[in-house]
Structures are given as C-alpha cells and as structure tokens.
Amino acid sequence: MTAIRHTFATSATAAVESGSGNPRPQRGDIHIAPMSGTSLRVNIRSYLRPRETKPFFSDVRVDFAGGRISVLLGASGRGKTTFLSVLLGTASGVADAAILYCSEGEELSTSEAQKSGKIGILSQDAALVPWLSTEQNLKLPTRLNGNLEQRANKDIEYLINAMGLERDIVKRLPYELSFGMRQRVTLARALLYRPSFLLIDEAFTGLDPMNTKRMAVVLEDYVEAAGAVCLLVTHNVQQASALGCET
C-alpha cells in the first residue's frame, strides 16, 4: 500500500475565524496507509432482548462503506447503543445475525476483527483506567491484545498535539483531566492503533463547541485518509448534520 499525505489539526490553542466562532487549527502532516475495500456488512435477522418474546430488531440489512462517517440518529432509548452492542457481539439478548468486517480482501467475524485489533470503540464514558497515567492508558491496548503493534512515543506525541492537548498530559492521571480532555485522550488512543472500523457511541455529547470541532476534524481526516468505516450514534441532530456523510 502507498502511504498518502494526511493532515491533522495540531494547534493546542486554535485561532478563531473572524466572526464565525469556529476554531481554525494549524495543520501538521502524517503518513497513513489507506485500507482498500473496507466495509461493515450487517444482517440482523432478529434480536430479542432478555425476557422479551417480540424482536427488538428484525430484518435489518445495511452496509457501511469505508472512507466516510455514517450516523445513526435517534432519540434516547430507541436502541442505538443496543445496535452497536449487536455489532460488537456484546448484546445481552439473543441475536440471529451475520456481521462481517471486511477489509483488505478479508471477511472477518466480530471476534476475529476484535482479536486482530481492527475495531476502535469510543463511548460517552471515556473508559480510562483511573490508576494509570495518560501515557499508560494510551499504551494499554497493546497489553491487552498482543496482536496490536507497539506505537512509538512520537506517534503518541503527534496525536496528543493533534487533539490540542499539552505535552505534559501524558504524566497525568484521569482524575486530573477535564471531561473534554478525557474524551480527546480516548479518541487519540483509538486512532493510535489505526483501526479499520470505528464505532462511536455519543462520544461528542457534553463537549463544548471548540472541542467538538477539534475532535471532528481529527476524526474526519483519519476516516477519509485511511478509508476506515466509521459509525457514530447520536441523538444530536446538529452533530449528525455536521459529521455524517450518511444518516
């Protein structure tokens, strides 16, 4: 694969466009090898929640293409997170489903894609281990999954900078970080291992507009450059309109 030149936002203190109130980040360069033929194929014939007899989902067939952000939009309690749980094989009910993670000519089951480190997951809960430093949290996936490639410190520094975070954040514990900082660290951790598939559950909820914009820029650039599949679930119509290529 040929590496392509890709830009991320790298300004810790973004300038503001005159009159718009939107951050205009400075730009930096990074090389990413684009993935070919990436798609997520979903066929949920039925899904029963625990202690229920009527299917919560039935006859759901959809393909999510790589290189774009797809958005699942709906009100709270309508099953968006449950849908992601079915895709990840963690739903507590009974699913009759065929989920295929397709990339580089391979068709992988959910467990195969997870074991190979191809799936990045972000949720509204930043899921940082409280007694580990930011740097240790960023490196934690390689301790949990031996199939993941160790990333150099320069890659960590680059993404920390791309998220508009100060360099010394790597030594801090999660309780020393604001909510927005924890969310940006979590996105940096997901992108650090170059996932083919990103599943995002309300990860932008509760962020201020500038941090939302910053994370969106980094996410959009990565998805486009890498050709990754990205599915974002949200109840926020404005967020869906700003991020989603497909809704």
Summarize pLDDT for 108-149 with one digit per residue, the tens. 999 999 988 899 988 877 789 999 999 999 988 888 887 777
Rounded mean pLDDT of 32-44?
78
Most confident range (mean pLDDT) of 18-22, 210-214, 216-220 is 216-220
| Residue 187 predicted with pLDDT over 80 | yes
Q: Judge whether 172 and 14 are in contact, CB under 8 Å.
A: no
- Which of 217, 222, 225 is closest to 22 using CA atoms? 217
- pLDDT tens string 1-18: 223 223 333 332 232 232
- Mean of all residue pLDDT scores within the chain: 80
Rounded mean pLDDT of 190-194?
90
pLDDT at 240 (0 to 100)? 66
| Residue 21 predicted with pLDDT over 70 | no
pLDDT at 20 (0 to 100)? 37
Distance of CA 166 to the CA centre of its chain: 22
pLDDT at 73 (0 to 100)? 82
pTM of the predicted protein model: 0.80
- pLDDT tens string 154-165: 888 888 988 889
Most confident range (mean pLDDT) of 75-79, 141-145, 199-203, 210-214 is 199-203
